[in-house]
Structure 1
Amino acid sequence: MARDTGQTRAKILAAAGDLAREHGPGKLSLDAVAARAGVSKGGLLYHFASKSALMEGLVTDHLARLEAALRAGENTGRPDGVIAAYLAEFRRECAAKAGPPAGLLAALVEDPTILEPVRQQERAFLDLIRSNATDPDMATAAFLVVHGIRTMQLMNVSVLTQAEEAAVMGWIAARLEPPQD
């Protein structure tokens, strides 16, 4: 039963994220999310008691996936493994056409107080990235580049083409590669 509960929760979160990206966070409704996820509205409310709780769930889910990727990078024991994992996760999101974490914008529209826990988590990510970096300033710049691109995508004001984004990401990744002997 617990496995089904986790799968249903994941389906609901995926549906909410998709709808927020497709129609904008302000037009996200619980009825639409339930229909997209293939669950009843009661089933959705079992997992998320309100639209605000659903938005918090989207943000929490995104941050948990990102943290897992960073911890995996840290566990490699490789210098710059954390920032490399951060860049790889961002590239994975872009390749999957998942777009930016629309749940964050949706959550902020719904409840601006959710920003403080996100800020704290992002600071923890940056601290972890810097502690594992051979050049903490370069790692910080890479972190900020990802945030800049993600924010432009989220706000639908991207000024870079996909090729330009890929070139910048490649340039950063090349500078994080260990030197070849």
Structure 2
Amino acid sequence: MAVVPVPDPAATRKRLLDAAWRVLTRHGDQPLSLDAVAREAAVSKGGLLHHFPTRAALIDALYERWNDDFNAAATGRALADSRPGRWARAYLDVGSERAGPPAETTAELGFLAAVIADPERLRRLRERYETWQDRIVQDHLDPVAATLVRVAADGLWLADLLGLAPPVGELRGQLLAMLRDLATPGGSGTDPAAPGGIGTSPSQPSEPPAHRAPAPSPAAPA
């Protein structure tokens, strides 16, 4: 007698989440359809509902995976770096690598719209950001410089996601290098005494102006 394989619940769950993301890549501007996800995953509607009884449950699971993927990548990057400022650098590096092809952008936009529209999901997202902010500013780095790196990384991600004139090419490389410099102790951007460094007031140059000889008196009229 042939043995009928028992479906692996974890594998089926992953299959459904992967299918949901693919549906979002094609229809991110529309509410996520459970019927479409079941068809995409080649799973019965009942099988989908066994794992995700509601559309909200499916979106919650997508949200958790999206967050967990970022946290795992950034945490792994930080733990592999023993220098102060590692959390800010990891956040910047992983965040700047999130930009994907247009289909992925469509999926992420549709997904984020669903997250923002739900107060509970938005609350959890804000808590995750608070956790990262705490890690970044408590990592022996100037808190102003550290926070600037984080919000710049977030801004770069949103510029990529929404197509808001995102920096590309050499300009992008220079921008990321400057932000990494801010996130590195001893970098010129973190030294208050360095020209343009954090803490340098525009009205107070970091170096005194060169001595200038007094202008000659105007010649006396003839």
Query: TM over 0.5, yes or no?
Result: yes
- Give the corresponding residue for 1:31: 35
- Alpha carbons 1:12, 1:37 under 8 Å: kept: yes
| Sequence identity (%) | 28
Q: Return the TM-score normalized by structure 2.
A: 0.65
Opposite residue 69 of structure 2, the aligned amino acid is R
Match of 1:134 among 132, 137, 141: 141
Structure 1: gaps (5+ residues):
none
Q: 1: CA distance between counterparts of 2:19 and 2:128?
A: 24
- Alpha carbons 1:34, 1:40 under 8 Å: kept: yes
- The answer on 1:159 being equivalent to 2:165 is yes
Counting only pairs closer than 5 Å after superposition, residues 86-165 of structure 1 correspond to structure 2 as 86-94=91-99, 98-99=104-105, 101-102=108-109, 103-109=111-117, 111-154=118-161, 156-163=162-169, 164-165=171-172
With a CA cutoff of 8 Å and minimum separation of 6, indicate the structure with the bigger relative contact order: 1
Distance 1:20 1:112, change over 3 A: farther
Distance 1:179 1:22, change over 3 A: farther
Aligned length: 178
Q: 1: CA distance between counterparts of 2:38 and 2:168?
A: 33
What secondary structure sits across from 2:148 in the alignment? Answer: helix
Q: 1: CA distance between counterparts of 2:6 and 2:184?
A: 41
Q: 1: CA distance between counterparts of 2:6 and 2:60?
A: 21
Distance 1:83 1:7, change over 3 A: farther
What secondary structure sits across from 2:30 in the alignment? Answer: helix
- Give the corresponding residue for 1:13: 17
Give the number of the structure whose residues are more often helix, by fraction: 1
Structure 2: gaps (5+ residues):
188-222
- The answer on 1:81 being equivalent to 2:89 is no
After TM superposition, the structure 1 stretch with the greater mean CA deviation from structure 2, 142-151 or 67-76, is 67-76
- The answer on 1:170 being equivalent to 2:169 is no
What secondary structure sits across from 1:66 in the alignment? Answer: helix
Larger Rg over CA atoms? 2
